[in-house]
Structures are given as C-alpha cells and as structure tokens.
Amino acid sequence: LDSLRDGDLVVDSSELPRLDGLDEPSSSHISDLSEVNQRLISALGIIKLFDLAGGYPFEVERFTYLEGGGLELSPVEIDKYPQLLVSKQSFQGAKKLLERAEAVFADLTDKGLVASVVDLRFRDQAIVR
C-alpha cells in the first residue's frame, strides 16, 4: 500500500483496526477494483455500512479485503469467536446479515460447537467450518 493518494482515505483507514488484502489481486483478471485506492474505497464502504447497520458481533482485530469485494473479519477474541466472511450489501442486507451472524454464533454456543470460520457471503446461507 504505497500508492495511497487520497487524504480522506488515509484518515479513514487510520481510525480502523488493521486492514489488509489491498495489494494487487492475485488473479490476472482486471476488474474495476484493480487499483489499491479503489479496493480501499470499497473496503471502507463495506466497513462503514456494517458499522451503521448495527456494528459487529465482536471486537474486530483485523479486516482483510477479499478478492471479489468481500471482507474477512478477524476477532480480537479468536478463542471465543470464529472469523466472519461478509460481502457487500445494502443497508437492509447488512442488518439481516448481522442478525444471521448473531443467530449462528448463538446456535454454536448452545450446541457447544466451535467453528473457525463463518461464511455469510451467500444469500440466506451460513457456511460454518
């Protein structure tokens, strides 16, 4: 991340937990998000939207921008919560996704199960590993 040119982005990103995954995409496919600033804008947009929709179900230690436009959220309390994978959503979609995350975490706790990753990037599904 050595080509950040927008001063507002620097301020926004400095107020966050760690944010990585903004380097050049690993695939040779060129997309609208091929520049680091575009990926940062996309990541900050997702982060702010979920924050406005109710916040995260845990304190986030690190955000990782995923190729394709989603985010991986790594919790501070890794022994208590799994990583959470989310995709770009509308405001209402983000609220529903956060409710689904809470429901999945409660279900895991009720059943005494432990997961390392909960993937909520797919419509009306939760993939638990």
CATH number of 7-128: 3.40.50
pTM of the model: 0.81
CB 104 within 8 A of CB 128: yes
Supply the mean pLDDT for the chain: 85
Return contacts of 110-113, CB within 8 angstroms, 24+ apart: none
Q: Quick: pLDDT tens for 33-72.
A: 568 888 888 999 999 999 999 999 999 999 999 988 899 9
Q: What is the mean pLDDT of residues 74-92?
A: 95
